[in-house]
């Protein structure tokens, strides 16, 4: 089965996102809707006409960048998935799709997750990187 990837619309939106001057303040433990984009092969894609995906701020690197872990609503299991409960909806953090993200990609803040959930994600990430 072949899926259509709308690269043209994504390439049209990217310069608008990049030209934004205002950057929101953000902190670790926050989940934001981000312009994730259209990506290659098995890399995760954003959804809808804004190419949005929820992303956890795992580690703030600078005022403008962070290490982000995307979420999915699909209830998958494995060493690279961690159970999530964002906006009272069960899903998964996808550790294997972690990447450095610029804060210009932020679209809207969703919530700040509890310390307990955040610590589980951090621990699973550390274990994932060590194996």
pLDDT tens digits, 7-55: 888 889 888 988 988 899 999 999 999 998 777 667 677 788 898 999 9
Task: State the pLDDT at residue 127.
Answer: 92
Residue 27 placed within a domain: yes
Instruction: Assign residue 115 the CATH number of its domain.
Output: 2.30.30.110
Residue 117 placed within a domain: yes
The distance of Cα 19 from the centroid of its chain, to the nearest Å, equals 21
Cα separation, 94 vs 92, whole angstroms: 6
Q: Are 72 and 104 in contact (CB under 8 A)?
A: no
Beta bridge partners of 102: 65
The closest of 39, 42, 31 to 14, measured between CA atoms, is 39
Could you tell me the residue range of the domain that residue 34 belongs to?
A: 23-130
Question: Does 3 score more than 70 pLDDT?
Answer: no
Residue 41 placed within a domain: yes
Torsion angle, alpha carbons of 34, 125, 94, 42, to 10? 100
pLDDT over 70 percentage in the chain: 95
State the total domains in the chain: 1
Task: State the pLDDT at residue 48.
Answer: 83
């Amino acid at each position: 089965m072949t899926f259509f990837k709308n690269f043209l619309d994504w390439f049209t939106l990217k310069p608008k996102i990049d030209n934004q001057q205002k950057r929101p303040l953000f902190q670790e433990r926050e989940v934001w809707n981000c312009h994730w984009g259209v990506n290659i092969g098995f890399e995760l894609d954003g959804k809808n006409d804004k190419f949005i995906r929820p992303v956890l701020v795992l580690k703030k690197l600078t005022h403008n960048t962070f290490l982000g872990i995307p979420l999915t609503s699909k209830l998958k299991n494995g060493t690279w998935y961690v159970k999530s409960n964002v906006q009272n909806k069960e899903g998964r953090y996808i550790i294997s799709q972690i990447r450095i993200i610029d804060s210009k990609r932020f679209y809207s803040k969703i919530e700040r997750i509890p310390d307990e959930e955040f610590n589980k994600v951090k621990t699973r990430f550390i274990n994932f990187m060590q194996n």
